[in-house]
Amino acid sequence: MRARLLVSLLVGATLALGLSAASAAARRSALQARTLTVHVKAGVVVPQQGPIEGLALDGRKAAFVKGIPLTRSCSIGRRLYRWNLATGKTSLVSGAKTCREPDTSTGSGIFEIALTRTGSAWLLNSGGNTESGETLFTSTAKPHRDKVLATSDRYGSDTSNTFTGSFIGGLVSDGSRITYATWTLAADGNVTESALWRISGSKATQIASGSGAVVSASADRGRIALLRTDGTLAIYAGDGSLLNTIAGAGRAGVECSYGCGLPGEAVALTSRLVAVLTEARVNRQAGSIEVYDRTSGELLHTWPAAGYAWQFDAYGGIAVYVRGARLHALDLKTGKDVVVAKHRRTMEEVRLDRAGLLYYFNGRWSKTRGQDGKLVFVPFKTVAAKLGR
């Protein structure tokens, strides 16, 4: 009996130690709130928008575009970096080909980024008053190396917003695969062809064809949502098969000259829901957030956005959007809306996924101190707690 009791006590102690070790490991692996400061020194010509100019988020990895001094080796004045949210360390992703891409005052630089666990891709827009185009880059197995995967080119007038030629946009990732869209506009403004592509390593494969220019895109759990200029919302499976089409979503009539297809600005796919941030209209400053059932196409809710809203994303039934210097979280099912962050500066971009919330803002320029930009990460559980979840 004593022997059995001793064995039971030893087993119990071992299990308790094992559980304690596992719990400690879980606590160590949990992501914490982080802030990263990106500094540009005084005396350096700052690129168009500031020290930070773009975002992507995939679990424990984030990516951002950093403005750097213009040099012969990097005439674009931008580089793409990864930020490890677990360790806080940053590493350079883009290489010499991105740096040598021509950039102009009317181009939007690196304006889309997509991450997976093993790779990344980014779009760079460049052009002038009469021509424009995108270059799609992917990372290689070697650090700081990039490869050109696709290009687009068009001509016309940015003043009249009429361009003829090819476009690339809608670059998004669901964490395991990256997709993007291409389309071609004729002189009369009609789309003559379009396609959906999947990136595998350093190659691209067409998985679907369709009609319409892409305003915004989102991906979640192997599915892709494309919001087109006519207001049509198309939901695709990972293999390119069309799952559903929802007509009359909120951004009909949007023109595309360059910079269209931005992820996280108008549509967000989250499980069975797909949310659309509608544009503010005449005599109505605020837009709204429309929530659809992605399988039936039924409009479930229309929630008012708090003022002029922009930069929008969603995950786990929660949407986040920016209104100036305030960042809101919205429960897509109940409509509960709370402010989860506020700063003195306007928040430029926002991303939300299973890990949490990522956003940035740039500070004021000083001739003596230079300029700081701040990247802020907030764990998802913190955002959910603000909504009482």
Instruction: Name the pLDDT band for 42 (thresholds 50, 70, 90).
Output: confident
Provide the residue type at 225 as one letter. Answer: A
CA 318/CA 62 separation, integer angstroms = 20
Higher pLDDT, 159 or 76: 76
Please give the structure tokens belonging to residue 364.
């004021």
- CATH 1.10.10.10 applies to domain 33-386: no
Which residue's structure tokens are 């603000």?
386
DSSP sequence for 230-281: TS-EEEE-TTS-EEEEE-S-TTTT---SSS-S-TTSSEEEETTEEEEEPPPB
Question: What is the percentage of the chain residues whose pLDDT exceeds 90?
Answer: 58
Of 42-51, 146-155, 175-184, the range with the lowest mean pLDDT is: 42-51
pLDDT digits (tens, 9 = 90+) for 168-220: 999 999 999 999 999 999 988 889 999 999 998 889 999 999 878 888 899 99
Question: What is the percentage of the chain residues whose pLDDT exceeds 70?
Answer: 81
Higher pLDDT, 102 or 280: 102
pLDDT digits (tens, 9 = 90+) for 312-330: 899 999 999 998 899 999 9
pLDDT value at 21 more than 70: no
Q: Mean pLDDT, the chain, as a whole number? A: 84
Residue 269's closest CA among 380, 173, 377, 379? Answer: 173
Domain map (residue ranges) of the chain:
33-386
Query: 3-state class of 348 per DSSP?
Result: coil
Give the predicted TM-score (pTM) of the model: 0.87
pLDDT of amino acid 9: 42
Instruction: Name the pLDDT band for 163 (thresholds 50, 70, 90).
Output: confident
Rg (CA), the chain: 23
Instruction: Name the pLDDT band for 6 (thresholds 50, 70, 90).
Output: very low
